[in-house]
Structure 1
Amino acid sequence: MDAPGNIAWGVTATALVLLMTPGVAFFYGGLVKAKSVVSMMMMSFGALGLVSVLWILYGFNMSAVESTWAFAGNPFSDFALSGLATGESANVDLIGVAFGATFAIITVALISGAIADRAKFGSWMIFAGLFATLVYFPVAAWVWGGGWVYNLGETMFGAESGVAVIDYAGGTAVHINAGAAALALALVLGKRIGFQKGILKPHNVPLTLLGAALLWFGWFGFNAGAEWWAEDMGGVGLIALNTLGATAASVIGWITIEKIKDGKPTSVGAASGAVAGLVAITPACANLTPGWALLLGVLTGAVCALAIELKFKLGFDDSLDVVGIHLVGGLIGTIYLGFFAIDTGLFLGGGPEQLIVQVIAAVGVLIYSFVVAFVLGFVIEKTMGFRIKNEDELAGVDTVVHGEEGYLLEERV
């Protein structure tokens, strides 16, 4: 991992994943009303600033544990990483810290799409800091840092089974985590004024397509980035191809359902399908052959295109379909591995063990994230207030909260 090529890819991948958070800002920003685009994008940039600082101060310390059932690492074990920065392997270690930070940032930023048009920025920032500390940092330890998810296969079936939860790049830690929290906040903040199907249209479709393009571009670092730790980077080819293929197939799946259901395939649907495919392939990118990755993509695109309608039937206002895309897509990608993972999937030579551990990990993270996010959101709403006033929502979040407008269409004298 300390070869110049590996180090170069580590830095490049970190930059690619960091770019994904502005990509989320553009994707979400285009989907909201013109008078709340600044607010929407600021929640992503706010998360980028705050979570980066917290990760360096203590989050990285919390992201690895010494025993299977530990909640998280000691946040003060190397506060602000002064020890790590002066160690013999600091050059490599600090790239790993930066790479890990980008995952923490985007997980928090994704949640904001569920509360578009109606959230106070200060309250969002408090939630973001608390959620990162109490949920993302510990969950990262569970999944990748030696915690209970990491060791679930050995705990249940013994070390000789060779079974382990597969979550290469964040199906549970990022997407199920963010999607469950998004559902919790949507319930806490309630519905937007005038919430009903068809009434709230994207204000800038090209902005959304730009965001989706940046996400797809950055996702090659998201999925293939961790290969910089491997001496020969032997899995990067399969990961890169699956990231392309599953995403492309998901676009086809989504717009096909749109055509059947509504009569027209839309560009927003294509962009949403791409994101859904990226979500689903995230945990599975290194453990599916390309054909099964294509099937995962088309299946995810179709199911998520249907899943986004649930909010109207169930009566919760997930503004930008974080639940329908990230929670549902993350669940599909994680559980799909139980059937089709190379060598261990139920249909590819394995037994039910892989499916069992995938489901337990997914459900465990989902429940924990939802409960903690709901409690945090509820407490913030009942104390300082999380949702803006109705009259401010009608006037526009941007001018009320930030004193800015996304578009100045005429000069004011």
Structure 2
Amino acid sequence: MASAITLAADAPTLSSANTGFMLICSALVMLMTPGLAFFYGGMVRVKSTLNMLMMSFISLGIVTILWVVYGFSLAFGTDSGGLIGWNSDWVGLSNIGLTELWDGTTIPLFVFLVFQMMFAILTPALISGALADRVKFTAWALFIALWVTVVYFPVAHWVWGSGGWAFDLGVIDFAGGTAVHINAGAAALGVILVIGKRIGFKKDPMRPHSLPLVMLGAALLWFGWFGFNAGSWLGNDDGVGALMFVNTQVATGAAVLGWLIYEKIRHGAFTTLGAASGAVSGLVAITPAGGAVSPLGAIAVGAIAGVLCAAAVGLKYKFGYDDSLDVVGVHLVGGVIGSLLIGFFATGKGQSDVEGLFYGGGLDQFWKQCAGVFGVLAYSLVVSAIIAFLLHKTIGMRVSEDEEVAGIDQAEHAETAYDFSGAGGGAARTTAVPAPVADASKKVDA
């Protein structure tokens, strides 16, 4: 009886503070998807703005429903062979008690599943930036549904699900370097290799139409990322969540500086687009690493990511793949950098006692990180390309050449982002204004 009493006393109980904190974090992560929409929307040409916004927003609808029906069960249910999960009681979320706690935590299961739902929504939206200007909206919506089912849900289980092969191997991914960013970046590369380049790639100017919109989107992403990262510890009773919050800010600032310095040396100017892209690269890189490194390590992770991602975005011109908005250069490369640097900068004083090479731990963790990184990268790249190929050969992934040239917004959504017909005031009048009549009494003879 004494042991039973002890076990009951040691069992976690619901924490109102942690529950409230996690609900706020979930809302912050949800905000990242509209933030991403604005970030991408400002980077495209005027004629593609609405399509870019919609490619992110539609994920909010599709993935939410799939997550409720079966996605949460596949990602976090009972493990099967280290590859996938399943729990029939979670199908439709109809057999979950309101006060039932998530495994070993002090927050309700409902809170954990809605937090993870926001991750699942954001991840396919990240892919959309690589496909700007040329993908049918219906094909994109179907791609999202197929992709999260056969790629995201299984990979989330590998990395975060109890029994997942990467989880059991000891791969560290605090908040999604592999499951979110490498996964999305590799998928983007797989799809663009199938559907091909935009008309005019490397010939026509394809500059961002609204840099203020880009900066607004980057700011919303940066703000939401605190929930994305700090919330992934599912509370802050031991200070690890606070460490992640600090490291998120520190790494992002370092990445902005690293990107801008590279840009100034390489191209001769400090650009707003570079500042925004640098911020995102730092956020991506610290996502897997922030719970394992110190603030000084976070500076190193951010600065390295800022420089290397800035260099990587130019690879599309060298190798000829049309990654429209640099999803590969920022999310894939940034995710790889952040994940692998754990093997060097892990202090053993954060989320676990794992130490990296620079802290006396050797290369053991680095090789584990390599297994996680390249396992997810290869799976996502190949399966995403197969999904895109099947869609491309059946319903067709791309709009027609005429529709792409004229503008995908009008073709796919029957709308335009900006109505210029009212510019200048007078052009918007709907009734004719009579011309002024000269006053004959004031006529001056020649």
Q: TM-score, normalised by structure 2?
A: 0.87
User: Is residue 343 of structure 2 the alignment partner of residue 338 of structure 1?
Assistant: yes
Q: How far off its partner does 1:226 sit?
A: 2.3
Q: Distance in 2 between matches of 1:121 and 1:372?
A: 20
Inter-CA distance 43–365: structure 2 relative to 1 (3 Å threshold): same
Q: How far off its partner does 1:78 sit?
A: 2.7
Q: Which residue of 1 aligns with 2:251?
A: 246
One of 122, 147, 160 as aligned partner of 1:106? 122
User: Is residue 174 of structure 2 the alignment partner of residue 168 of structure 1?
Assistant: yes
2:68 maps to a residue whose letter is I
Which aligned runs of 4 or more in structure 1 are off by greater than 6 angstroms?
none
1:149 maps to a residue whose letter is A
Indicate conservation of the 8 Å contact 1:197/1:312, yes or no: no
Q: How far off its partner does 1:88 sit?
A: 4.1
Q: Distance in 2 between matches of 1:194 and 1:225?
A: 43
Inter-CA distance 94–264: structure 2 relative to 1 (3 Å threshold): same
Q: Which residue of 2 aligns with 1:255?
A: 260
Could you list the runs of 5+ residues in structure 1 that have no partner in the other structure?
153-163
Q: Which residue of 2 aligns with 1:389?
A: 400
Q: How far off its partner does 1:197 sit?
A: 7.1
User: Is residue 134 of structure 2 the alignment partner of residue 149 of structure 1?
Assistant: no
Indicate conservation of the 8 Å contact 1:114/1:322, yes or no: yes
Identity among equivalent pairs (%): 51
Q: Distance in 2 between matches of 1:98 and 1:307?
A: 34
Q: Which residue of 1 aligns with 2:35?
A: 23
Alignment of 1:42-57 (within 5 A): 42-57=54-69
Indicate conservation of the 8 Å contact 2:99/2:108, yes or no: no
Alignment of 1:9-408 (within 5 A): 9-67=21-79, 69-74=81-86, 76-85=88-97, 88-89=100-101, 92-146=108-162, 147-152=164-169, 164-196=170-202, 199-229=205-235, 232-343=237-348, 344-408=355-419
Secondary structure in structure 2 of the residue aligned to 1:96: helix
Q: How far off its partner does 1:76 sit?
A: 4.3
Indicate conservation of the 8 Å contact 2:21/2:235, yes or no: no
Secondary structure in structure 2 of the residue aligned to 1:264: coil
1:101 maps to a residue whose letter is M
Q: How far off its partner does 1:314 sit?
A: 0.3
Secondary structure in structure 1 of the residue aligned to 2:399: coil
Which has the higher Rg, Structure 1 or Structure 2? 2
Indicate conservation of the 8 Å contact 2:182/2:335, yes or no: yes
Q: Which residue of 1 aligns with 2:444?
A: none
Q: Which moved more, 1:371-380 or 1:81-90?
A: 81-90
Could you list the runs of 5+ residues in structure 2 that have no partner in the other structure?
1-12, 349-354, 423-427, 431-446
Higher relative contact order (CA 8 A, sep 6+): 1
What is the aligned-residue RMSD (CA, Å)? 1.6
Q: Distance in 2 between matches of 1:213 and 1:151?
A: 36
Q: Which residue of 2 aligns with 1:156?
A: none
